[in-house]
Structure 1
Amino acid sequence: MAMKFCPIDTKHLFLFRCGALVRPLDFIISSAAVGIHRNQADTLKLRVHEYGGGKVKGRRLIAAVSKYSNPATDVVEAGDSEFLSTTGWKDFASNVSGEWDGFGAEFSIEGNPVELPESVVPEAYREWEVKVFDWQTQCPTLASPETYSFFYKSIKLLPTVGCEADAATQYSVNERHIGGSNIIAYESSGSFVAVWINEDNGSLELEHCLVNPRNKESRVRIIQALQVNKERKLVLQNFRIFCEQWYGPFRNGDQLGGCSIRDSAFASTEALKSSQVIGSWQGSHATASFQNSQLNTSFHEVKGEGLVKIVRDEHDLILLPKQLWCSYKEREGEFFFEAGWLVDRGQAITSKCIFSSNAQLKEIAIARETSLAEMEEKA
């Protein structure tokens, strides 16, 4: 079918760029720049040319239109399954959104907890020579089920003594949005892996959010802070851990668990034993692959249930409290960053990021694994 060209009123137009909602429209559109044709489902497909830096780049954009007669005002939602999986996204948005409260702590690359600054520790603790490693935290999170948007606030509360926590004061608020160069790979359960890029200094953070498969109101977030050195190698600097419980629908941080919080400080508790995670494991891996053609969108659903066998040894394992671990490996020019949570004996949920030799993201995987030794014991 021949392409037809027509002018569009951009003030009322919402488009999807390879699965990510573009709003407000960040493209220059004119009758000469937009090509439109109709498919069998009455969905208009548009090819829009992006103007920037004196160059014109072609990008495929999708907009679902209820009536061909008025494309400027009848745009409703994305309608091309080639780029979108709305069911998976809606389930994810429902499971990830809400008020998540708990505790968080920073750890060195050796797995040792880092004490809080003395300036924020209550005098009573200093007098008793009590070391404080944990922040009480809030993480109000919101993903819209209707559009591809995701953000959260990471709130640290000043340490308090006893049940003064009910009147805790915010120490810091860090708000994050997916978009631009940031990327999220998500699973319908509410688990996700996000890549946060600081374009000012070239650093990045990998955030592994793992939801307990047996309790969707319990999750951990492991954030690995990385730096790209002069040789374009990724170097692990430190990491932070947040153990959180779901306390209700999203209220933008207005709700505070206080003394009713269902968790407790964990940074100085016993770390996971290596014998609990080393050995042979097997599990279903859902992946998102990042090829050049896919980098135009920030949102990716991990897909597939490929059965993978893993042999995990003590080398490069960082053992942590709350049955958690991390690992970092460089192998054959690629960089592997893993986070894992032993949710029960012989049962774990893991996530992994793979980068190329020049620090380009290649793949993200989320898996549910079972120890082969546990399977043989039950057989």
Structure 2
Amino acid sequence: MQVWSQFAERVSGEWNGFGADFSNQGKPIELPQFVVPQAYQDWQVQLFDWHTQCPTLAHPHTHVLQYNSIQLYPTTGCDSATRYSTNERKVGGTGTNTGLAAFAYESSGSYVAVWKKKDNLLELEYCLVSPQNYQSRVRIIQLINVLDNAVAKMKLRIIRIFLEHWYGPFRNGDQIEACTILNSAFASTAPMAALEVTGIWLGSKAVATFDASNSEIVRELSDDKEQSSPSPRDGNSTVLLPKKLWCSLNRGERDETFLSEVGWLIDDEKAITSSCLISSSAILKASYRILFTIVFR
């Protein structure tokens, strides 16, 4: 319970920033034209980023987490931002969101959530908190098509990124002005270079396993007892993204497994990575092994 209390303290609050969608090749997806202010259309400016909010509340003594991922209409200047969409999420307790398959958390405020959605769609949500600043985080979401309901036929559909900054205690999403958002639009900035990922990485691992042997869907990430082995990366199978981010979805070492991974390069020699190994012949019976790692080159 102590780790959960630390997690709750770090994750709770009002988070704001910018969010954007990317293709499975890492290309930014332009916002729908009808949400773009007329001034930007007159200036022929393309917009790729939403203003975003994510009011989050974790109860320190019960494994219950609630958060709303909110997209705000883009504005010019410091106008008050208006909600375009709200995606409500709840983990633990009664009324847990339908479709939550696994949730693993770490004391820093980082977590991984696996959501089963309609139409054979799987959503892997990774939240990575900067070890240098606990008020700065990134959420990387992979939307994955599961063809024929089989893990062996998984295809990355969309990558969704939120760059967020903590700006106060939980207030259930008070209205904000656009100019109070601390981060800046990022979707059309240059992706990281392949050479920045390439190399041999090594680090300690925290792990949570979800399978038929346990019924809990909310679990703490615990130190992996297996000896950590070097992880070579060549950058060829990696989707390179802005803000020193990357992700991948590849076949695992064994048949009927797929490995999803995201990473955030903190500096030239240090990165945070998180991964989810999915194994089973049918997604409805899949098991998940989630890893959270701070690695060094």
Aligned-residue offset at 1:257: 5.5
1:325 aligns with 2:230: no
Match of 2:106 in 1: 187
Q: Which residue of 1 aligns with 2:87?
A: 174
Q: Size of the alignment, in residue pairs? A: 282
- Of structures 1 and 2, the one with the larger relative CO (CA 8 A, separation 6+) is 2
Taking the aligned partners of 2:270 and 2:39, their CA distance within structure 1 comes to 41
- 1:129 aligned partner: 44
Task: Determine which of 112, 124, 127 is the counterpart of 1:209.
Answer: 127
1:1-379 residue pairs with structure 2 within 5 A?
A: 86-164=1-79, 167-178=80-91, 179=96, 181-182=99-100, 183-198=102-117, 200-230=118-148, 232=150, 233-254=153-174, 256=176, 258-294=178-214, 296-305=215-224, 307-331=228-252, 332-333=254-255, 334-358=257-281, 359=283, 360-371=286-297
The SS at the match of 2:29 is coil
CA deviations on 1:270-321 (whole Å, 9 max, x unpaired) are 1101101111000011000123121x22211110155331001122200000
**Alpha-carbon distance in structure 2 between the residues aligned to 1:321 and 1:309:** 25
Which secondary structure state, in structure 1, belongs to the residue aligned with residue 139 of structure 2? strand
Q: How many Å separate the matches in 1 of 2:288 and 2:85?
A: 33
- Please list every run of at least 4 consecutive aligned residues from structure 1 whose deviation after the TM superposition is greater than 6 angstroms: none
5+ residue gaps, structure 2, are none
Q: What's the C-alpha RMSD, in Å, of the aligned pairs?
A: 1.4
Alpha-carbon distance in structure 1 between the residues aligned to 2:230 and 2:267: 19
Give the 3-state SS of the residue equivalent to 1:308 in structure 2: coil
Deviation at 1:104, TM superposition (A): 0.1
Residues 285 and 308, structure 1, Cα contact 8 Å, conserved in 2: no
Instruction: Please report how far the alpha carbon of residue 127 of structure 1 lies from its aligned counterpart in structure 2 after TM superposition.
Output: 1.1
Contact 2:210 2:217 in 1 (8 A): no
* Local SS of the residue matching 1:210: strand
Any conservation in 1 of the 2:280–2:287 contact (CA below 8 Å)?
no
Q: C-alpha separation between the residues in 1 aligned to 2:229 and 2:58? A: 30
Letter in 1 for 2:63: Y
Answer whether contact 1:223 1:239 (CA < 8 A) is retained: yes
Structure index of larger Rg: 1
* 1:96 CA displacement: 0.6
Instruction: Name the SS for the 1:103 alignment partner.
Output: strand
* 8 Å Cα contact 1:353/1:365 also seen in 2: yes
> Can you list the C-alpha shifts for 1:178-203, whole angstroms capped at 9, x where unaligned?
235412100010000001112x4231
Task: Quote the offset at 1:357 in angstroms.
Answer: 4.2
- Note closer, same or farther for the CA distance 1:308–1:255 as it changes in structure 2 (3 Å cut): farther
Provide the rounded CA distance (Å) in 1 between the counterparts of 2:237 and 2:250.
Answer: 7
Distance 1:158 1:239 in 2: 20
Whole-Å separation in 2 of the counterparts to 1:244 and 1:226: 23
- Residue 256 of structure 1: CA displacement? 2.2
Q: Which amino acid in the other structure matches residue 174 of structure 1?
A: N
Cα separation, partners in 2 of 1:150 and 1:231, compared to 1, 3 Å: closer
The answer to whether the 8 Å contact 2:192/2:243 transfers is yes
- Deviation string 1:200-219 (CA, Å, 9 cap, x unpaired) is 42312000100001100000
Residue pair 1:101, 1:256 contacting (<8 A) in 2 also: no
In 2, distance between residues paired with 1:122 and 1:163?
13
Q: What's the secondary structure of 1:197's corresponding residue?
A: strand
Equivalent position of 1:75 in the other structure: none
SS in 2 for 1:307: coil
